[in-house]
Amino acid sequence: MYKIIDGKELAAKMRADIKKDVEKYTKENGRQIGLAVVLAGDNPASQVYVRNKIKACEEVGIKSYAYYLDGGVTQAELEKLLHTLAEDKNIDGILVQLPLPKHLDSEKALRIIPTEKDVDGFSADNTGKLCQGKESIVACTPNGVMKMLESCNIDICGKRAVVVGRSNIVGKPMAMLLLNADATVTVCHSKTENLKEECLNADIIVAAIGKAKFITADMVKEGAVVIDVGMNRDENGKLCGDVDFESVKEKCSYITPVPGGVGPMTITMLMYNTCLSVMRSER
Ligand code: GUN
């Protein structure tokens, strides 16, 4: 019988703990932790994410500073803002919602964010440290997945983990985290020739492909742990993941649902990273 890993429940528990830590910090330091959230343009999905990030800040007691930039903002204007935020003592974390409008060079802009304020963990410095197994700020979604595995005491050491997807935001850092936790890791992607066989070998599958119900029951080993990072719409417009949940669940020991799985963890990990960054800078 499979067990569902409830991301909503774990996220709520973590947020309650974060809230306590934030309260303690605010009281002891006479200042609020500050997170700057930068959104350029009117991408509807980004608007929803940003709204939810600001809501999460309110919930845990972090002060959010929202910057809504016109879609036509120039590279120079964006960089000027990021330089100001980088210098601002009230700002502990800076988040630039991606994707940025196409005319902007996001890599160049993100390089302005100091490592200790890079609460998304996207900088070369933070990703490099992660690769080397050193202390770093880790991208929110894969870090949230690790917390979910931990919360269920799922054994990672020595297990075969297959990450499907190789994005900089999820797939690559996910693979590194699993590797650092002593899994034997395979990263699969759109050019992988024997994807089904690779998945069938896996004790743990992390699906981060961006294709509705892509992982089907015939690709999953009996007793596998299946983590679904996907957020798609099915043929009826209903929210669904990268995993065909209804058929795959019967094969699994653990599985995450969509919605209510990895999704709620991502924003919680942003709050977590913001606090962690502040606490570390105090050491
Ligand atoms: N766009 C999609 N996911 C993310 C994320 O985790 N952080 C940021 N900044 N942008 C995103």
**pLDDT tens string for the chain (283 positions)?**
999 999 999 999 999 999 999 999 999 999 999 999 999 999 999 999 999 999 999 999 999 999 999 999 999 999 999 999 999 999 999 999 999 999 999 999 999 999 999 999 999 999 999 999 999 999 999 999 999 999 999 999 999 999 999 999 999 999 999 999 999 999 999 999 999 999 999 999 999 999 999 999 999 999 999 999 999 999 999 999 999 999 999 999 999 999 999 999 999 999 999 999 999 887 6
Q: Which of 252, 225, 202 is nearest to 148 (CA)?
A: 225
Nearest CA to ligand 1 atom 9: 97
Q: Which of 275, 266, 278 is nearest to 20 (CA)?
A: 275
Cβ–ligand 1 distance for 5 under 6 Å, the answer no
Cβ–ligand 1 distance for 167 under 6 Å, the answer no
The token pair that represents 44 in the structure block: 């509807």
Please report the pLDDT score of residue 283 as a whole number: 64
Q: Residue 98 C-alpha to ligand 1 middle, in angstroms?
A: 5
Please report the pLDDT score of residue 282 as a whole number: 75
Please report the pLDDT score of residue 69 as a whole number: 98
Active site residue 249: no
Active site residue 97: yes
Instruction: Specify the pairing of strand 204-207 against strand 184-188.
Output: unpaired
The token pair that represents 158 in the structure block: 């020595």
Please report the pLDDT score of residue 281 as a whole number: 83
Q: How far is CA 22 from CA 4, 26, 138, in A?
A: 30, 6, 20
